Amino acid sequence: MSYGDTTILHGIDLDIHRGEIFALLGPNGAGKTTTVEILEGFRQCSAGEVRVLGADPARGDDAWRGRIGLVLQYWRDHRRWQVAELLTHFATYYPNPRDPAELLALVGLTKQAGRQVEHLSGGQRRRLDVALAIVGRPELLFLDEPTTGFDPEARRDFHDLIERLARDEGVTILLTTHDLVEAERLADRIAMLVNGRIGVQGTPTELSRRAAAQAEVRWTAADGTARTERTADPSRLVWELHQHTGGPIADLEVRRPTLEDTYLHMVHREAKRGADGAEAGAGAPEGEERAA
């Protein structure tokens, strides 16, 4: 995908399976929204092949569009509409819509049903975004940074809703997010996009293991100094420490590599490549990641 002379996406290659929750992660400007907009049919890619529910999104007809759910921008023009009114109006576009009242309960907006859209808080608007995206019972749902501005409770409710849609109704969900905890909790698989390339992809567990095979063990030694050691066998190290001290190990902490470690490792690696003037991400990023 290029805008004029500037290449934004350098050959994204991914398959998203039916019924899975797939998260696209990456720093600002990595190309997540551009990717999602190509898949939604809002942008035509400059080269390559894209198939969404069996069709080229750039040529998707109304029947195809009715099978996908996405967060539209233009409904924001309906600021004076009441929440329930807007939802009922959008429901008329679909052959088998959800009941607007049930949907309001599902996204936790029942109390705001009669409120004008312009008087909703930021987080409530995002809930309405999601409600509008699923009113037509989509098979495939695109959510671009859906929980931005959510408080912790709203975030948890939203995660429950997404899991229910995927597990109970078999909805395929493509999610972009900056929240690594969210990705780890929700996603069956994750792709990390940096500078328009997929650096790594896999299940959250696979990606967590990529950053470093070693766990970090921290404790406070008998002389009061803080100690940190990296090891591939933390239980053995803890056992040895225990043998050595003959009692409790003070402030013991065993930390496995997290998704955040992988993410930061990859972003730093790509930033360094950029600074070195190398062609970022060229070659075989997967193999290189393993070697790292």
- Please tell me the count of residues contacting ligand ATP according to CB under 6 A: 10
Q: Is 89 helix (H, G, I), strand (E, B) or coil?
A: helix
7 belongs to the binding site for ligand ATP (CB under 6 A):
no
Residue 16 CB, nearest approach to ligand ATP (Å): 17
CA distance 144 to 179: 12
228 contact partners, CB below 8 Å, separation of at least 6: 216, 217, 218
Min. distance of Cβ 31 from ligand ATP in angstroms? 4
Distance CA 189, CA 182 (A): 12
CB 197 within 8 A of CB 11: yes
What residues have CB less than 8 Å from 247, skipping those under 6 apart? none
CB of 70 to ligand ATP, least distance (A): 14
3 binds ligand ATP (CB under 6 A): yes
Nearer to ligand ATP, 28 or 96 (CB): 28
Under rule CB under 6 A, which residues in 29-68 are in contact with ligand ATP? 29-34
Q: Which is nearer to ligand ATP, 39 or 134 (CB)?
A: 39
Place of tokens 């929440």: 83
Rank residues 56 and 145 by Cβ distance to ligand ATP and give the closer one. Answer: 145
Residue with smaller CB distance to ligand ATP, 78 or 178: 178
CA distance to 242, 245, 248, per residue, from 222 (Å): 12, 8, 11
Residue whose structure tokens are 């229910």: 164
State the minimum distance, in angstroms, from the CB of residue 157 to ligand ATP. Answer: 24
Q: Is 8 among the residues that bind ligand ATP (CB under 6 A)?
A: yes
User: What whole-number distance in Å separates Cα of residue 42 and Cα of residue 39?
Assistant: 8
When the beta carbons of 8 and 237 are compared against ligand ATP, the nearer one is: 8
Among candidate residues 265, 188, 267, the one with its CA nearest the CA of residue 28: 267
Q: Which of residues 12 and 87 has its CB atom nearest to ligand ATP in the complex?
A: 12
The interface with ligand ATP within residues 141-170 (CB under 6 A) comprises: none
Residue at token pair 């060229």: 282
In angstroms, what is the minimal distance from the CB of 2 to ligand ATP?
Answer: 9
- Can you tell me the distance from the alpha carbon of 288 to that of 285, in angstroms, rounded to the nearest whole number? 5
Smallest separation, CB 42 to ligand ATP (Å): 11
220: which strand partners? 226, 250
26 binds ligand ATP (CB under 6 A): yes
User: Nearer Cβ to ligand ATP, position 172 or 176?
Assistant: 176
Q: Considering the rule CB under 6 A, would residue 197 count as an interface residue with ligand ATP?
A: no
First-to-last alpha carbon distance for the chain, in angstroms, is 29
Q: How far is the CB of 45 from ligand ATP (least distance, A)?
A: 12
Contact positions toward ligand ATP, by CB under 6 A?
3, 8, 26, 28-34
